[in-house]
A and B are shown apart, each in its own frame.
Chain A
Amino acid sequence: MGMIRTFNLKESGLRRLIAVTGHFGSGKTNVAVNLALRLREETGKPVTLIDLDIVNPYFRAADSTAELESAGVKCILPEFANTNVDIPSLPPEIRSVFDGSAADSYAVFDVGGDDTGAAALGGYRHMFARGGYDMLFVCSMFRPLTPTAAETFEYMREIEQRSGMKCTALVNNSSIGISTERSTLASTDGYIGELSKLSGLPVLFASSMLRDIDPPAHPVFFMDNITKNIYGG
C-alpha cells in the first residue's frame, strides 16, 4: 500500500479567485471554509470568504464566521444569513474582491448547490473572466443522486451552463458522515478517476476529515469538520 500524498497548496497553482461549486450536499461549504483557512495560514495573504449560497437555509458558512475572522479571514455574508429570511440577498460589497487593489489576495466563493445555486455565481461571471479564476467542482459518491461518475458529470454540466463559467478542477469529497471509515475515500478512486476522464479535468485533491486513512489515488487535503453539531454527544 502506498503512502498518502498530502495536498500542497503553495504549489497547486490556484488562482486568486476560487469558486467552490458542486452538487447539492456535496460538502462545498466545508471545503470552502477549510480552504480559506489554509490559504490564510500558508500564504499569509489577505483571504476573503464569500458566502454566495442562496439555496441552503440552514448549515452555512455564516456558522463559521467567528472561527474564520479570528484566523484573519474576512467574511462577506448574505444579508439575513441564518435568520428567518428564506432568500438571502447578496451584498454589493462582494464586488470589492474583484478590484485591482485586491490583486495580492485570495477570494473563496462558497456557491450554493446544483445549477440553482450556480445562478448566483453567474451574475459575476464577467468579473471572474477578467481576473482569471479557478472553479472547483466538489462531488461525493455517497450522495443519493450522484452515485456514478456519469450522473455526477450531468450536475457539473448543469452548473457550468447556468453560471456561464467553466470548472477547472475536481475535488473528491466522498464521505458518509459518521459512518466514514479508513477505507472509504480510497474506495472512491475509480469514481473520481472516471469523472476526471469524462470531464477532462484534473483532481485537485481528495478531502478527508479522518486523519488515519488508506491512501487514495490523489493528494489529500485534511479538513476539520466545521458543520455545527446541534445535538451534542
Chain B
Amino acid sequence: MYVAVKGGERAIENAHAWLAEERRGDPAVPELSVPQIREQMSLAVNRVMAEGSLYDPDLAALAIKQSRGDLIEAIFLIRAYRTTLPRLAASNPVNTASMLVSRRVSATFKDAPGGQILGPTFDYTHRLLDFTLAAEGEVPAAPTAPADTQDVPHILGFLDRDGLIEQAVPNDDTPADLTREPLELPADRALRLQSLARGDEGFVLGLAYSTQRGYARNHAFVGELRIGQVAVEVDIPELGFPVEIGEIELTECETVNQFNGSKTEPPQFTRGYGLTFGQTERKAISMALVDRALRWRELGEDFTGAPAQDEEFVLSHCDNIQATGFLEHIKLPHYVDFQAELELIRSVRAAAFANLEAAE
C-alpha cells in the first residue's frame, strides 16, 4: 500500500540551494565553463555520451558540470534529456573502414598495412603524476609527419580473405531497438550490442576481465583497435537520397578468438565486436570480449555457467541508470513498508514468547 505523505518542501529547497553552492565550490576559484569541460575533460565527456547513448559533447559537458563530476548522475541527465527528443531518423550503418583514424593498433599483426598508429594514448606513459600540469602553461603542438590519404583497411579483412575467420556477412535487416520496445530475452546479437554499447563501463570491464581469468575463457586477441572520425549519413525523405549530417568520433574493437570448429563449421577464428561513442577504448575492448562470450549458443559452445555467458544476467544488469535507480530508491522514504515489517516482527515475537511460556 502506498500512502502519500506531504512535507519536507522547505528542507528539499534548502538542500538544493546548498547543493548549488557546493557545486560552485570556493567562489575565489574561477568557475569552470562548459567548453572548458568539453575540451579538457574530454574522456569524461566521451563516457557520458557513450553510456548516456546520445552523441552531443556540449550537453555531456553541461551534464558533468551540473552533476559535480558524478558521471553516472551526468549519464542519468543525458538519458532523461534524450527522451524529450523526437526521433527524426535512423542513420545508415556507419562505415568504419573509411574512418579518419587518429589511433589504430593491432596486437596480432606487427606489419599490418596502414601501420601501427598510436594516436593520443596513455599507453607507454609511466603513470607518474606530472606536477608540471599543476602549473598553467602552454603545450607545444604535437609533431606531424607526411601522411597518405588512403583509407586504413580493416585488419580482420586479411584473415577473412583467407577464410581463417568467420565472416561478418552484411544484411539490411532493421535492428530491434531497446529504447523503443522493452528488452525481451533471448535477445539477438543486435540487441546485445546495443545494450553493451550503452552499458556501464565498470560492469562490462569486470565481466570482460572474468572471461580472461577463466570464466568462459575465449582466448581473445585484439585484432584491431581503431579510434577516429566517421561521417553519419541519413536518407532524407524530402530528397530521396542520403546526406551526411555530421561527423562523430568512434572507438571500434575487433577481437580474434579461438574456436575449434563444429559439425557445420570448419576450424576457424571467431569474432567479438565492440563499438562505442568517443575515445572509449577500455569500454570497446570490454564490449568485444563480452559480445564474444555471449555468442556461445550460435557458435555451438558449452554454457559453462559463467556470468559473462549469461545473457539474462549481463543484459539485465549492465545498465547503470536502471541499476542506480533501483539501488538508490531504497534510501528514499519506506516508512509505511517498514512499519508493516515492524508490526509483523512484533506479532511473530509475541507469538513465539507466548509459546515459550506455555511450554514452561
A in complex with B? no
Residues of A whose CB lies within 8 Å of any CB of B are: none
